[in-house]
Structure 1
Amino acid sequence: MSSSKLSSSSYSSVYRSTPTSDNSTRLSAYGSRKYCRRTSSRASERSKSSFSSLPTRRPKTSASACVGGRDNHSFVVAMIEGRGVATEVGMCFIDLRTSECILSQIADSQTYVKTLHKLNLYNPVEIILSVTAIEPSKSKLCKILEDNMPMASIIPIGRKYFNDAIEEDSASLILGITSKFYCLAATGAILKYIESTQNIFFTNHSIKFKYQGCEGTMMIDCVTARNLELISNINNPRSNHSLYGVLNNTRTPMGARLLRTNTLQPLSDVTTINMRLDAVEELIRHEETFFAIQTALKPFQDIDHLITALIQVPKKPSVKHAEQSINNVIILKHTLKLINLLKESFTGVQNSLLDAIYSLLNDLRLEALEERINDVINEDITYVKSPLALRNQRCYAVRAGFNGLLDVARQTYKETVDDLNEMIDQYREQYQIPIKTQFSSTAGFYLSINIEQLEDKQLPLIFINVKKKRKTLTFTTLEVMKKNTKISDSLTEVYLMSDKTIEDLISEIRNDISVLYKASESIAMLDMLTSFAHQCTVSNYVRPEFTDTLAIKAGRNPMRESLYVDTFVPNDTYASSATNFQLITGPNMSGKSTYLRQIALMSIMSQIGSYVPAEYASFRIVDQLFTRICNDDNIESNASTFVVEMRETAYILQNVTDDSLVIIDELGRGTSTHDGLGITYAICEELLKTKAFIFFATHFHELTRSLTVYPNVVNLHLEVEIEEEDSRVAMKYLYRVKDGRNDEEHYGLKFGQIIGLPENVIRKATELKELIDSNKEKSTSNKIIQRRKTLLQLTQHLLQIRRSSNLDKEELRKYLKMVQEEFITKMEALF
C-alpha cells in the first residue's frame, strides 16, 4: 500500500495525472461505450428474474426512480467491494462541475442499504466498477445497482486500476484514513478514468477531498425520498412543489447544493442541529443583519464551478481556453470583492456558528490574493453580463507593460471597432434608414431595423443575410463581415499574448486554492441558514426541540400549506415509547396520507436545522426513515401492486431499528381480503417488537380491534361529518385527527350512495355488512386492555415529568394532582 493518504478534513489536493501521447494510459477495452448499460437495456433482463431472488434489497419499483434533476451535479462514482466475509464497499465520488471529491468506505449489510443511501444522495450519472464484478457473472452488488440506479450508466474498467497507489504528491493528505484501502483504490480508478475520458488533468494540490461515512446522519432511501417528494414532485418533476422547493430560498448555487444534500441526508447529532437552530434564531431576531446578509449573497457566482475552471488544465492549449482563463480571473476578482462586502454585513452577530463563519472568512488570505490579481489585472475591470461589455473587459484586462505587442493588438482592435461604427453611420446617412448596431458573442456585430420604420421602402441590395424576427429585420454587409473578422483576429492576438501572464497568475492562485474552497463552504452554509430564516419569516414556523417523545401541537404539512391558498387544518401528534404504534383510519380523501407525510417532513426539517410549521414541536432523533406509500403497479419490472408492497415492506422489516420512523399508508389491499388482513396483522406484530415510531394508515378496521391487546397501540381516525336528509347523503371532510376508531360509520356504503350507486345495490350491501357484523365475536377483555394502556401511559407520563420538569415544588404538586384526577376519571370510566 502506498504511503499516500488523505485527510478527512483537508481542502488541498492531491492528484496530478501526467499527459501522455501514447495509448498506454487508456483504461482498457472494457472502458468502451459498448459496455455501458442504461435503463432500456436492463429492463428486459430484470423482468426475467424473479423478485424473490434478492429478497433483502430495496426493490426496484415505480417509486425507485432517481430523485431530483442533474442540473446541479454531474457526479461520477467508482466503487469496489471487499472480498472478505463482511461486506465492505469503497466509493469515490467526483463532481465534474465543481471538482469536489468525496470518499466513503462503508461496512454494509447484505442488503447494501447504506451503499444505496450514499448513491441516492449524490445521484451519479456514471458508476465505474471493476470488470470482475460484471464478467463472467454479475456480482450481487452489480445486480442491485442495476435495479436501484436505473438512470446511471454502469461502466466496467480493468481491475488493475483499482489500487491505492496514489501519487506521492498526496502523501501529506492521507492522515486519518490509512486503513481505508477500498476508498483509496476507488479514488485511483476514478482519477485515471476522468483523465482518459475527459482529456484533462488536475494540477497539484487542487482537488478538494472529503471523507464521509454514514455516521451522524439520518438514512433515507430513494423510495422514501420519492414518496415524500423531498427533491422533485412525483407528478411534475420540473415543478418546485417539493420539500426542497419549499425550503429553497437560497441566493447562491453553493447554498442550493448544500440544502439539497442536507434534505436527502439530515443530521442526527443534536449538538450540531441546535447550533444551526441557534444561528437561524439569531438571524430572525436581528432583521437588519438578516437582510444585509441576504442582499450581500445575491450577486455571488458559482464559486465551485469557478474553482473547477481554475484547476483543470486541458492537454492542448487553445484560444478558447485563453479567453476563458481571462474570464475566470475577472470573475474571481469580482468574487473577492463580494466576500469583502459580505463580511461587512456581519454587524452585531453574537451566535457562535455565524461568528465562526465570519472569523473564517476574515482569517482567509484574501487580501494577498486580491493584491496579486490587481498587480496583473487593471483595477477598473469588473464582471459584467453583457457579451460586448464582457469582451471589452477581457481585451483590456491585463495591465499595460507586460507585453509590448499586446498594446499594438489592442490598438488594432480599438481602431477596427471605431471604423466599423463610422461605416454604420455612413450607411444611415446614405440610405436614410434608422439602422441599429447589434452584437452577439457568436455572430459579432450585425445590423437591425424595425419593419415599421422602413415604411414602404426596400432594403438596399448592399444588405445581405436578411432575416426576419417578428417585427425586426436583421442583416449585415460584406464590409461588416470583414470588420468582424479583423476584430476577431486582433482579439485572438490579445488573448494569446495575455495567456502567459494569465496562466502564471492562475498558477499562483492554485497554490492558495484551499482558501477558495473554505470560502465556498462558508458561504454555502450561511446561505442555507439564511434560507431557513427567510422561510420562517414568511410562514408561521416554530423552533423544534429534541426529547424522547414526538409531540407536535397544531402541526401543518409544509408542502400542502405552500401550494394551497385555503387555510390548512392543523393537527396534533403525540408518540412516546408507550404509544409508539399508531393506527390511523378514515375514509378515502379524508387526509390520512397528508397527515402521515406531514410527520415525516417535519422530522426531516427539524434535523436539517430548520424551523417547522407548528405551534410547538418536539422530536426524537430519527436514525432511519422508512415509508411505504405508493400503490402503483410497476410495469417495468413486471411487479403488481401486492408484489411491490411486499418487497418494500420486507426491506423495512429487515432494516428497522428502535430509533427509526416508519410511515405506512395502506398495506395488503393488492391481494384477497383474508390474505391481506393476515399478512398485515403479522407485519404489525413484527413492527411492534421494535421501539420505532410507527404510523400506520389502514382500511382494515379489524386491526383496530385485534391489535388493542398490545398496550402501546393507539387508534386514531380522521373526522368526517355525515349529513342524511331523506334519501340524500352528504359527507363533509373536517381533516381533524381524533382519538379512537370509526369503523362503525360504514363510510364506503355512504360514499357509494353519494356517487349514485343503485338503491338495490346499496341495500344488499348494507344487509351483508350487518350479517357479517352480527357474526363477529365481541371481545370481553377490552376493558382490561384499556386499563393496562392507561396504567402504561401514566407510567410514561411520570417518567417524562421526572426527566424534564423544571417546575418548583408547589407547581409540581398542583400538576401531579391534576394528572392524578385525570387518571382516576379514565379508570372509573373503564369499570
Structure 2
Amino acid sequence: MPQRPRIEQRSVKASSCISSIPRVLQTPVRGSVSTAQYKTPKTPGSTANSYSQYGRGDQDSTFQSCCIVAVLEGRGGARGEVGLAVIALDNPTLVLCQFSDSRTYTRTLTKLELFRPMEILIPLTGSFDPKAVSKLNQEIAECFPRAKITPLQRRYFSEVNGLQMVRNLCVPEYATVELQIKDKYYSLAAASALIKFVEHSQNTVYAPKSLKVEFQASSNTTMIDAETIKHVELLTPMINSKSNLTLFGILHRCSTPGGIRHLRANLFQPPALVDVINARLDAIEELIANPGMFHSLQSVVSRFCDMDQLLSLCVIVPKTETLATFEQRLNNVIGLKHALELVEPLHSVLEGAESKLLNDIYNSLEDLRFQYIMERVCEIIQDDAKVQRGSAAMKLQRCFAIRNGVNGLLDVARRTYCEIVDDIEGMVVQLAEEFEIPLRVGFNASKGYHVQLATGGKKVNPIQLKNLPKSFLRPQQTKNMISFTTEEIIQADQRSQESLREITFMSNTIIQELLGEVRDAIGSLYKLGEAVCSLDLLLALTEVSMKDDYSRPQFGNSTVIKQGRHPILDSMERKEVVANDTTATIESRFHVLTGANMSGKSTYLKQIILLQIMAQMGSFVPANFASFRIADTIMSRIGTGDSIESNASTFMLEMREMAYILTTVGSTSLIVMDELGRGTSTEEGTSLCWAISEELVKSTAFCFLATHFPLMTKLEAMYCTAVSHHFLTQDRKNNSGDTIGLIYSYKLAKGTSQVHNYGINLVKATRTFSDDVILRAEEIAQELSMSKRVLPEPGPDEVRRMNSVKLVLRLMLIAKNDSLDLDSKIAHAKSLQQQFEESESEGEDCESNHISNEF
C-alpha cells in the first residue's frame, strides 16, 4: 500500500527509475497556508462571490458580505416596530433583532449597514407599487442600491413557524435564547421567511440542533447612525476611497476573518456596558505587561482558519450532492482538524492569565468535547493532512486525507491513481530520453497533468516554441517555461481524473458518517470560534494600545480628555499632531466652537467621536488622560451635499438630519454639529441654529457645535450649561502693519475669537482674487458689521439666576462622586460656597472650571 504522497514538481532525467510511489508526488509539500489564503468553496447555488461590496459604497475591501436579511415592520398601531433576521451563507449564525424605530428608520438602516446584506427580503404587500410602497422599503432601496431586494409573499412571514424553526435548529448550548425571543413576533416572522428562502434558493437544509441563534438587544450597545459612520471616516475616507486612513484601518491588526468581522461590528455598535469594556481593558493591560504571552497568542491565533466557514460543514446539508460539495466537505474536515490541533497550544499560552476575560477563554478551551472530536477525526484523517497552498496541493490532500485501512476499496482506488501517475512519469522519462531535453511533470487545475520544459537559466539551452516536435500538443510558452502534452499523457490524465472522482466519492461517504458523529458536539466548536474572534480583536486592540502616548480610558458621569489627539492624524507619518483638551459635564454640556476657516474645528469634532468609539470598544486612546461618559447614541451633522435621488438640497438634508437628532436624542447622547444652518441665508440660518441649540441645551446630552455665526456665542450668556470656545488664530501682518494672512495654532481656548474678517484674510494669503476684489469685500464687511444689531447682555438678576443653577449642578456632581470621601466633599462644597458669595458681591458670572474638571 503506497504511503500518502506529497506533491511538488521535479525534473525527470533519462536515468531516473520509477518507484511504486510516483516521484512527482513524493517531495515535501510547502507549508500550510495562512488564514487569508484558505477559503472554503461557496455553498452550492450561492451567489455570494458575485457580490463584492454592498451598502453605501465601497467602504472597506477586506469585508465582503454574503448576508441575507429579512425585514418586517408591524402594521396599523404597531407601525414602527421592526424585526430583522440575518444569516450569512458562510457563517451558520442566525441573528435576530427587534426594536421600535422612528419615522426615518435610522435604527433599522444602521443595523442593515452593520450587516451590509447582499440580498434583503421584504413582504410583498405593496412593496413595488409606487402609490402604496412603504416608507421603510423606500429608505432601504435608496440607502442600499447594490443589494438585491426580493419581495416574498406575506404568508411566509409567520412567527409561529419562526419559533418552531428556532427550536428545531438551535444548538442546545444556545437554547436559552428562546426566553428572549418568544415575544419578539416580528423578528420570529422574519426568521421564518429567511430560513425558508435560504434553504430554497441555496438548495440546502440546515441540520437539526446545529445552528447558533443569537438575539441582539439594542440596549447594551451604542447606536451610531449611518451618516455619522460616513462623516467621521469609520470605514471609508472622505477623499481617497482606497486609502486605509480610517479608524477601521488603524485598528485593523486582525489575522482571522472572524476577528475582522468582530472588529467591524464593534466599530458600528460599541459596547455600552462598563463591565464589558473594563474586562477588555483589563485583558489588554495584562497583554501589554506580558509581551511574551502577547506574541505567543499572535502566533497561534494567526494560524486559525475561518471558524465560521468550518462550522458550515456540520450545519448545511446540500439537497443535491455534487463533486464540488464533496471536495468542500473534505476541505473543511481537514481545516477542522487543523483548528483542533491549535486548541492545546492556545490553552497552554493562556495558562496563568489573570484578567477575567482571558481566564474565561482559558476555561472554555478545557471543554472535553474538543478531545472527543479530535479523536474521532484522527481515527479517519491522516496525521499530516493539512490545508495547503494551491489547488493541486489541496487535490492531493483530499485524495490521501483518509487513513489507510479505513476502507479497502478506497485504498485500491488510491493505488490505481498512483499507478496512473507512475505511468505519466514514465512517459515523461521516455520523452526526455528520446529528445535529449530535460523535462518534468507539471500539474494544475486547468491543464491537469502535462509536461514542462525550462527555457530560462544559464545552463539551459534556449528552445523556441516553433522548434518543438509535432507530437507535442497544446504548447504554451511563458517567460521561463514551455508546457505541452501528448496524446498518451492526455489519455492518462483523463484516467487519473476518473480515479480521483472515485476516491472523492468514497471519501465523502466516510466523511459524512464522521460529521454525523461530530455534529452532537458542535456547540463546543461555536465556543471555539467565539474565543478565537475575541482573542483576535483583543490582540489587535493591544497592538494599537502599546504606543507610549496612549492611555487607558476611564468611565464616569463626565467626559474629560487631557491632550487628546485625532487617532487618524496621529497614525500618519507627518509633523506632530496638536493635542487639545475636552471637558463635558452635566453643568457644561453644550459647547460652541468658533474660529477661522481651516483652524481645526471639523477635525476636533471628529476627534471627539472617534475617541469615544475607541474607548467604548475597549481600546486605549491617544491622550494623556481620558475619562468618558458612556453614550447611548452618537449622532452628527457634518458635511454638505445634495441628494438628486431624493430631490433634496443641502439645506433640506441638513434639516432632516437635525429633525432626526431632536427626536432621537437620549439622556447620554453625544452630538456634534458642524456649521449648522449654513445652507440658507445668514439670518435664517442663525435663527434655526439658535432655536435647535436651545432645544438641545434643555437635554442632558453632550453637544458640540462648530459655527461661524457670531450670535451663537451669546448662548453662554443665556444658558448656564453652554460654554464658548475658539481656536487661537493670529493675523499675519507685513512690515507696514497690513494683514496679509493668518497664523494657525490649532489650539482650543475658552471664550470667543477676537480675529475678524478671517475669511477675507485667508483669501488674501492664497491670492485667490485681485486686490480690487479683496478691497471691495473689506469695505462691504465693515459696513455690514456696523449695521448689525447687538444682543443685549444679561442683567444682574439673570447672572444671579445662572450662578445659582451652576452652584446646584456642581453640588450634585460632588454628591454623586464616589471617589471622594465625606471630608473631601465638604471641602469642595465650602470652596464652591466661597466662589458663589464672591460672584454675588461682584455681580459677575461664577467660574470654577478647575473644580468642575475634577468631576
In the superposition, the TM-score normalised over structure 1's length comes to 0.87
Q: Distance in 1 between matches of 2:251 and 2:62?
A: 19
Q: Distance in 1 between matches of 2:608 and 2:368?
A: 42
Determine the structure 1 residue equivalent to 2:85. Answer: 92
Instruction: Note closer, same or farther for the CA distance 1:109–1:829 as it changes in structure 2 (3 Å cut).
Output: closer
Instruction: Note closer, same or farther for the CA distance 1:585–1:469 as it changes in structure 2 (3 Å cut).
Output: farther
Determine the structure 1 residue equivalent to 2:779. Answer: 767
Whether the aligned pair in 1 keeps the contact of 2:313 and 2:332 (CA below 8 Å) is: yes
Q: Give the one of 368, 381, 384 matched to 1:380.
A: 384
Determine the structure 1 residue equivalent to 2:462. Answer: 455
Pair 1:427 & 2:431 matched: yes
Whether the aligned pair in 2 keeps the contact of 1:544 and 1:616 (CA below 8 Å) is: yes
Q: Give the one of 504, 507, 512 matched to 1:503.
A: 512
Following superposition, the deviation at residue 629 of structure 1 comes to: 0.8
Whether the aligned pair in 1 keeps the contact of 2:565 and 2:578 (CA below 8 Å) is: yes
**Percent identity over paired residues:** 37
Determine the structure 2 residue equivalent to 1:78. Answer: 70
Q: Give the one of 188, 195, 204 matched to 2:192.
A: 188
Q: Which amino acid aligns with 1:658?
A: S
Determine the structure 2 residue equivalent to 1:246. Answer: 250
Q: Please give the residue correspondences for 1:640-719 in structure 2 after superposition, counting only pairs within 5 Å.
A: 640-705=649-714, 708-719=717-728
Determine the structure 2 residue equivalent to 1:638. Answer: 647
Q: Distance in 2 between matches of 1:652 and 1:811?
A: 39
Determine the structure 2 residue equivalent to 1:512. Answer: 521
For structure 2, the 5+ residue unaligned runs are 1-52, 846-855
Pair 1:720 & 2:729 matched: yes
Following superposition, the deviation at residue 276 of structure 1 comes to: 1.5
Q: Distance in 2 between matches of 1:420 and 1:768?
A: 91
Whether the aligned pair in 2 keeps the contact of 1:783 and 1:830 (CA below 8 Å) is: no
Whether the aligned pair in 1 keeps the contact of 2:58 and 2:236 (CA below 8 Å) is: no
Q: Please give the residue correspondences for 1:279-358 in structure 2 after superposition, counting only pairs within 5 Å.
A: 279-358=283-362
Determine the structure 1 residue equivalent to 2:146. Answer: 151
Pair 1:540 & 2:549 matched: yes
Instruction: Note closer, same or farther for the CA distance 1:77–1:69 as it changes in structure 2 (3 Å cut).
Output: farther
Following superposition, the deviation at residue 475 of structure 1 comes to: 2.8
Q: Which amino acid aligns with 1:73?
A: S
CA RMSD across the alignment: 2.8
Q: Give the one of 638, 644, 656 matched to 1:629.
A: 638
Whether the aligned pair in 2 keeps the contact of 1:133 and 1:142 (CA below 8 Å) is: no
Deviations 1:610-636 (A, max 9, x none): 111111011111001111112122233
Q: Please give the residue correspondences for 1:573-588 in structure 2 after superposition, counting only pairs within 5 Å.
A: 573-588=582-597
Whether the aligned pair in 1 keeps the contact of 2:814 and 2:828 (CA below 8 Å) is: no
Whether the aligned pair in 2 keeps the contact of 1:583 and 1:697 (CA below 8 Å) is: yes
Whether the aligned pair in 2 keeps the contact of 1:66 and 1:151 (CA below 8 Å) is: no
Q: Distance in 1 between matches of 2:838 and 2:741?
A: 36
Q: Distance in 2 between matches of 1:718 and 1:317?
A: 67
Instruction: Note closer, same or farther for the CA distance 1:140–1:234 as it changes in structure 2 (3 Å cut).
Output: same
Following superposition, the deviation at residue 300 of structure 1 comes to: 0.6
Instruction: Note closer, same or farther for the CA distance 1:106–1:448 as it changes in structure 2 (3 Å cut).
Output: farther
For structure 1, the 5+ residue unaligned runs are 1-38, 41-62
What secondary structure sits across from 1:504 in the alignment? helix
Determine the structure 1 residue equivalent to 2:41. Answer: none
Following superposition, the deviation at residue 530 of structure 1 comes to: 1.5
Following superposition, the deviation at residue 69 of structure 1 comes to: 5.5
Q: Distance in 1 between matches of 2:548 and 2:65?
A: 30
Whether the aligned pair in 1 keeps the contact of 2:557 and 2:629 (CA below 8 Å) is: yes
What secondary structure sits across from 1:719 in the alignment? strand
Following superposition, the deviation at residue 576 of structure 1 comes to: 1.0
Instruction: Note closer, same or farther for the CA distance 1:743–1:75 as it changes in structure 2 (3 Å cut).
Output: farther
Q: Distance in 2 between matches of 1:791 and 1:763?
A: 48
Pair 1:803 & 2:816 matched: yes
What secondary structure sits across from 2:220 in the alignment? coil
Instruction: Note closer, same or farther for the CA distance 1:212–1:808 as it changes in structure 2 (3 Å cut).
Output: closer
Q: Distance in 2 between matches of 1:303 and 1:751?
A: 56
Determine the structure 2 residue equivalent to 1:48. Answer: none
Determine the structure 2 residue equivalent to 1:127. Answer: 120
Whether the aligned pair in 2 keeps the contact of 1:66 and 1:222 (CA below 8 Å) is: no
Following superposition, the deviation at residue 133 of structure 1 comes to: 4.2
What secondary structure sits across from 1:694 in the alignment? strand
Following superposition, the deviation at residue 337 of structure 1 comes to: 0.3
Following superposition, the deviation at residue 364 of structure 1 comes to: 4.8
Determine the structure 1 residue equivalent to 2:8. Answer: none
Q: Distance in 2 between matches of 1:170 and 1:366?
A: 22
Q: Which amino acid aligns with 1:169?
A: N
Determine the structure 1 residue equivalent to 2:6. Answer: none
Whether the aligned pair in 1 keeps the contact of 2:456 and 2:479 (CA below 8 Å) is: no
In the superposition, the TM-score normalised over structure 2's length comes to 0.85
Whether the aligned pair in 2 keeps the contact of 1:72 and 1:257 (CA below 8 Å) is: no
Determine the structure 1 residue equivalent to 2:741. Answer: 730
Q: Which amino acid aligns with 1:86?
A: A
Q: Distance in 1 between matches of 2:394 and 2:694?
A: 68
What secondary structure sits across from 2:218 in the alignment? coil
Q: Distance in 2 between matches of 1:133 and 1:274?
A: 48
Whether the aligned pair in 2 keeps the contact of 1:128 and 1:155 (CA below 8 Å) is: yes
Q: Which amino acid aligns with 1:92?
A: A
Whether the aligned pair in 2 keeps the contact of 1:89 and 1:108 (CA below 8 Å) is: yes
Deviations 1:741-800 (A, max 9, x none): 115432112112212233333333223323333334555535856776666556544544
Following superposition, the deviation at residue 244 of structure 1 comes to: 1.3
Determine the structure 2 residue equivalent to 1:113. Answer: 106
Deviations 1:468-488 (A, max 9, x none): 334443333333322322221
Q: Distance in 1 between matches of 2:476 and 2:374?
A: 46
Q: Distance in 2 between matches of 1:389 and 1:66?
A: 34
Following superposition, the deviation at residue 517 of structure 1 comes to: 0.9
Q: Distance in 2 between matches of 1:418 and 1:825?
A: 101
Q: Which amino acid aligns with 2:515?
A: I
